[in-house]
A = this chain, B = another copy of it.
Amino acid sequence: MQIFRDISSLQLSLNKLILEQKTIGLVPTMGALHNGHAALLEASLLENDITVCSIFVNPTQFNNDEDLNNYPRTYEEDIKFLESNGCDIVFSPSIHEMYPEPPRLKFNFGKLEQSMEGKFRPGHFNGVAIVVSKLFNIVNPKRSYFGQKDLQQFRIIKELVRNLAFNTELRQVPIKRDESGLAMSSRNKRLSSEGLNLAVKLNQSLMAVKKSISDNQDFEKTKILLVGDLALEGIQVEYLEYVNADSLESVKNNSTNNSVALCIAATVDGVRLIDNIIFELRE
């Protein structure tokens, strides 16, 4: 496994691989790797000759310095993890390498970023779009892998790729969960054992809401009760949304033929977590 810290030596190496007609898969990460990332790597290893994993805690996508400072960083373990998971190339640039100057342009994705993460983390998707554009331009991957946990992020990146004609196929890899059902996340490393027990309720809540939708219960009523119950247990829900899985617009009645998603963001034990489930409505 090769490790690159600077763009030019990475590109020198990738250019050789392109001349050898190797296909390249990109797995962009912020490190603190877990089995969710392993699923991304596995998907990339299966369909590409070379898998590049980037590790970069991207400052421009954090709307909050405290969150940026507290974001778990486990570089040594990450490198071992990637090695044992078959990664070919690691790209772990410094902040200065990625941002020799602060980016001046800003992206706006309109409606797609006006709800959920976009609403509660102003500027977040601008930072995501900038860093992902840079990674696409630096690595020029044939395929790129993102986790379903960041559902809105994936939808935004899909728009970015379509609108600007980036030459990469996007793959959304299903959420990995531990035995309890908790969605794997780097931020879970910040939870106490009590927090871990509480966090399980996010997924349980989504499953309960899904059931109530199937039973034709009103979503808004179900939500109000549930958010109240979670608050009593010490979980502060930031949002709980029932959306069209493609447009991310609120589902107003159950007559849509598209996939739908239930998305939640909540603070558990002082840590902000997100989760979602995607499913089909059957009449």
Contact = CB atoms under 8 A, between A and B. Distances in A.
Given A104-B112, A108-B106, A108-B108, A165 B134 contact: yes
A196 interface: no
28 contacts: A7-B165, A18-B18, A19-B19, A103-B163, A103-B164, A104-B110, A104-B112, A104-B163, A105-B107, A105-B108, A105-B109, A105-B129, A105-B159, A105-B163, A106-B107, A106-B109, A106-B110, A107-B107, A107-B108, A130-B163, A130-B164, A134-B164, A134-B165, A137-B164, A137-B166, A137-B167, A140-B140, A140-B167
A162 interface: yes
State which size class the interface on A falls in.
20 to 34
Interface of A: 7, 11, 18-19, 21, 101, 103-112, 129-130, 133-134, 137-138, 140, 159-160, 162-167
Nearest to A99: B163
Contact of A104 (B11, B21, B105, B159): B159
A112 B103 CA distance: 12
Contacts of A106: 107-110
Given A7-B165, A138-B165, 10 more contacts: A19-B21, A104-B112, A104-B159, A104-B163, A105-B109, A106-B108, A130-B163, A133-B164, A134-B164, A137-B165
Contacts of A7: 165
Counting from the closest, the 10 A-B pairs by CB-CB distance are A103-B163, A134-B165, A133-B164, A137-B165, A106-B108, A105-B163, A105-B109, A137-B166, A104-B110, A138-B165
A130 B162 CA distance: 11
A167 B21 CA distance: 19
A166 to B, nearest CB: 5
A111 B104 CA distance: 9
- Max count, chain B CB within 10 A of own CB: residue among A105, A109, A165: A105
Contacts of A105: 107-110, 129, 159-160, 163-164
- Max count, chain B CB within 10 A of own CB: residue among A11, A130, A164, A166: A164
Contacts of A110: 104-106
Nearest to A7: B165
Contacts of A166: 137
